[in-house]
Amino acid sequence: MRKFFDEMYIDGASNNVRDHYREFEAWLATQSPKTVARKRAEADLIFRRVGITFAVYGNEAGTERVIPFDIIPRMITASEWAHMEAGLEQRVRTLNMFIHDIYHDQNIVKAGIIPPEQIFRNAQYRPEMQGISVASDIYAHIAGVDIVRAGQGEFYVLEDNLRVPSGVSYMLEDRKMMMRLFPELFAKHQVAPVAHYPDMLLDNLRSVAPIGVTDPTVVVMTPGMYNSAYFEHAFLAQQMGVELVEGQDLFVNDNAVYMRTTRGPKRVDVIYRRIDDDYMDPLAFRADSTLGVPGLLSVYRSGRVTLANAIGTGVADDKSIYPYVPDMVRFYLSEEPILNNVPTYQCRKKDELSYVLANLPELVVKEVHGAGGYGMLVGPASTKEEIESFRQRIIARPDGYIAQPTLALSACPTFVDSGVAPRHIDLRPFVLSGKTISMVPGGLTRVALKEGSLVVNSSQGGGTKDTWILEN
């Protein structure tokens, strides 16, 4: 069995508790199974009542499920968070500089650091954005960076999510739930707050309004109630005190975007959009889109509306670009990366393809444009038939895949049907970029609920935990 880092116990031994977990572990030992079962049921009931659901695509049991929530928090010390925060700030600053560069001078391509075909033949590259100035040169206003802990406890960046990263509502609701169920724990621990995230997000969005706008109108744009993250769209709009709109609620007139209201048209300055590029403007992208706003791109290009995140950011979170991020940090900032990448093999390179095909049972293979845990192969957890089938897919389209070693992801004690057992976790902190870069301490901890599973995505049956950054 592979050895993995246990967040609560040193060497996985239950009699050897890490210092920052001692107080919690002592408290947990005093809780009767009956109390725990009652609290877990209460959490499930409240989440169901509030409507905190997500869609499981392709699941025949129905489209909506309550997100599984575990009451044992994931704890991170203040010093570990300080290291992670510095690394996240460095990384997101770099990625914004990269996106600005590829849509303007393309210095990183000219320097030979990234092959031009990796960018200009990338499905997420938008030639329509070439030469366009966006407010404050910020493209990824909201970034969700997935971090895992492996080995002896080192942190690695697994992927960057710069298009429409989701999950922040679960982070906020998980914290509310823990405070409601176990207020006594917060009296014993100095847990850094996260409740101010919506205020921070609104301030961030207002700070990148078009030039000359002093009191910007911000809206959240959703594809509608059938989207898997609709709860989050509605939640964030409500928490920020702004309108939740669909494409049909907006229109373009006189080179500006307006929202239909009961009091007549109202100018919109900043759109926090939760819709993919392809669907934003049927006149510029997919003509069959009913989710977007005709003419939106022309207003955007003239600098009279801000889109968060910007069109064309996807090229920087593509999994084929991910291996180059450490080189980007060195190129743009003349610094060494604080957070490491997971070693990555690019199947488009012949020698790396040969290695991947020879070692498929030991590797994790991902589609470069994939998301949500779909379209991937976890070698050690796959049958021979699944591996061979995936091998043919890679051979047919090698440039569509990357591969990584199967990391021994850290585990955290988690309530399962049989009691408490270690389950693998990751962390998605949310980084906001505007006039400054900011983030609330922590993020969304996702947990793989199946024994031995490394797939934490909620759409694949994963759950969540509250994330505690301890201030003392």
Range with lowest mean pLDDT among 160-174, 357-371, 446-460: 446-460
Percent of the chain predicted with pLDDT > 90: 74
Q: What is the pLDDT of residue 58?
A: 55
Q: CA separation (Å) from 224 to 144, 229, 249, 257, 292?
A: 22, 9, 11, 19, 11
Domains delineated in the chain: 68-175+193-340+427-469 (no CATH), 346-405 (3.30.1490.270)
Q: CA separation (Å) from 255 to 53, 74, 267, 289?
A: 38, 48, 11, 21
Looking at per-residue pLDDT, the higher value among 469 and 64 belongs to 469
Kindly report the pTM of this predicted structure.
0.92
pLDDT category, 378, cuts 50, 70, 90?
confident
Percent of the chain predicted with pLDDT > 70: 94
Q: What is the pLDDT of residue 15?
A: 79
pLDDT category, 462, cuts 50, 70, 90?
confident
415 pLDDT more than 60: yes
Length of the chain: 472
Q: Which of 94, 131, 164, 149 minimizes the C-alpha distance to 322?
A: 94
Residue 425 bridge partners (DSSP): 447
Average pLDDT of 230-243? 96
For 87-119, the pLDDT digits (tens) are 999 999 999 999 999 999 999 999 999 999 989
- Mean pLDDT across the chain: 91
Longest dimension (CA), the chain: 69
Which amino acid, residue 2? R
For 277-301, the pLDDT digits (tens) are 999 999 999 999 999 999 999 999 9
48 pLDDT more than 50: yes
pLDDT category, 226, cuts 50, 70, 90?
confident
Q: What is the pLDDT of residue 452?
A: 76
1 pLDDT more than 50: no
Which H helix or E strand runs over 397? none
Looking at per-residue pLDDT, the higher value among 221 and 154 belongs to 221
Give dist(CA 174, CA 442) in Å, integer.
12
Give dist(CA 211, CA 124) in Å, integer.
27
Find all residues with CB under 8 Å of 176, minimum gap 6, and list them: 195
Answer whether 431's CB lies under 8 Å from 84's CB.
no
Helices (H), 103-211: 107-110, 116-120, 168-181, 183-188, 197-207
pLDDT category, 244, cuts 50, 70, 90?
very high
Q: What is the pLDDT of residue 406?
A: 82
Answer whether 135's CB lies under 8 Å from 303's CB.
yes
Find all residues with CB under 8 Å of 16, minimum gap 6, and list them: 9, 10
Tokens of 470: 């301890």
281-288, Cβ contacts within 8 angstroms, sequence gap of 24 or more: 284/128
63 pLDDT more than 70: no
Answer whether 194's CB lies under 8 Å from 468's CB.
no
The label of the residue with tokens 């270690």 reads 422
59 pLDDT more than 60: no
